[in-house]
Amino acid sequence: MSVAVIITAAGSGTRLGADLPKALVRLAGEPILVHSLRAACASNVIDHTVVTAPAGHLPAFRALAAPFGAVVVPGGETRQASVAAGLAALPPDVDVVLVHDAARALTPPSLFVDVVDGVRDGRRAVVPALPVVDTVKSVVPGGSGGFERVSATVDRAALRAVQTPQGFERALLERAHAAAPLDSASDDAGLVEALGEDVWLIPGSESARKITTPWDLGLAAFLAGSPS
């Protein structure tokens, strides 16, 4: 019985626009991937770590992952395919799997602990989430001339923005991935929901926000206390 984390790092980082895969971009002097590996390791609740990497960059990722005892596997075309590749590389004794975006570089170690505790307590899919602070509107598809027409204001009180690490009973996550059409959900909990199984939210962390754009990288560098 052991806990594994799959750190998804196989994306290219198109929206960040660097000349390196996003996980290799430096934040406060170290690659984003190293921040994520360190946080997972510092939680003391992880027994095995698998990193998904862009197929063309395996040696660089392996060099960064080795000090953490992490295994690196090539990812897929989509995040969902990368997680499936990570699942296929897990040792047999793993019964709890966390899936974590490398891009959430400043995730506090305590969030890994909270998610594992939730799964060990018997909730088979546990996801950190934050309330939505902005007013949210839906729009009519296909705007024109820079304008989009509003169709409705969504009830913000009923919305949550979800984060990672997302934690699952291994058998449930494997069943969800096996049943999922290609690229059918942007997170793993969505695949579990598609099976009709319960997903449970716990309080997330502002620090676990994902680095997606140059603005996010600048903010993370500020929060990490050093220029990027």
Residues lying near Mg ion in the complex (CB under 5 A): 11
User: What does DSSP say about strands 160-162 and 125-131: parallel, antiparallel, or unpaired?
Assistant: antiparallel
Applying CB under 6 A, does 79 fall inside the site for ligand CTP? Answer: yes
Given the complex with ligand CTP, which of 151 and 213 has the nearer CB atom? 213
Residue span binding ligand CTP (CB under 6 A) among the ranges 15-23, 117-125, 145-153, 193-201? 15-23
Applying CB under 6 A, does 12 fall inside the site for ligand CTP? Answer: yes
Assess whether the previous peptide bond of 141 is cis (omega < 30° from 0): no
Which one of Mg ion, ligand CTP, none interacts with residue 78, CB within 5 to 8 A by kind? ligand CTP
Extract the runs of DSSP E, i.e. beta strands, from the chain: 2-8, 26-27, 30-31, 48-53, 71-74, 94-101, 125-131, 136-139, 150-154, 160-162, 166-169, 200-203
Instruction: Give me the sign of the Cα torsion angle 222, 223, 227, 228.
Output: negative
Q: Which two tokens stand for residue 115?
A: 């998610």
Which one of Mg ion, ligand CTP, none interacts with residue 10, CB within 5 to 8 A by kind? ligand CTP
Given the complex with ligand CTP, which of 120 and 210 has the nearer CB atom? 210
Instruction: State in Å, rounded, how far the first CA of the chain is from the last one.
Output: 39
Q: Which two tokens stand for residue 220?
A: 């993370």
CB of 186 to ligand CTP, least distance (A): 8
Residue span binding ligand CTP (CB under 6 A) among the ranges 40-48, 76-84, 109-117, 200-208? 76-84
Nearest residue to ligand CTP, scored by beta-carbon proximity: 11
Q: What is the Cα–Cα distance from 190 to 147, expressed in whole angstroms?
A: 31
CB of 153 to ligand CTP, least distance (A): 27
Query: Which run of H or E residues covers position 201?
Result: strand 200-203
Given the complex with ligand CTP, which of 41 and 50 has the nearer CB atom? 50
Q: How many residues bind ligand CTP (CB under 6 A)?
A: 22
What is the greatest pairwise CA distance in the chain? Answer: 57
Q: Please give the residue ranges that form the binding site for ligand CTP (CB under 6 A).
A: 8-15, 22-23, 52, 75-79, 82, 101-103, 210, 212
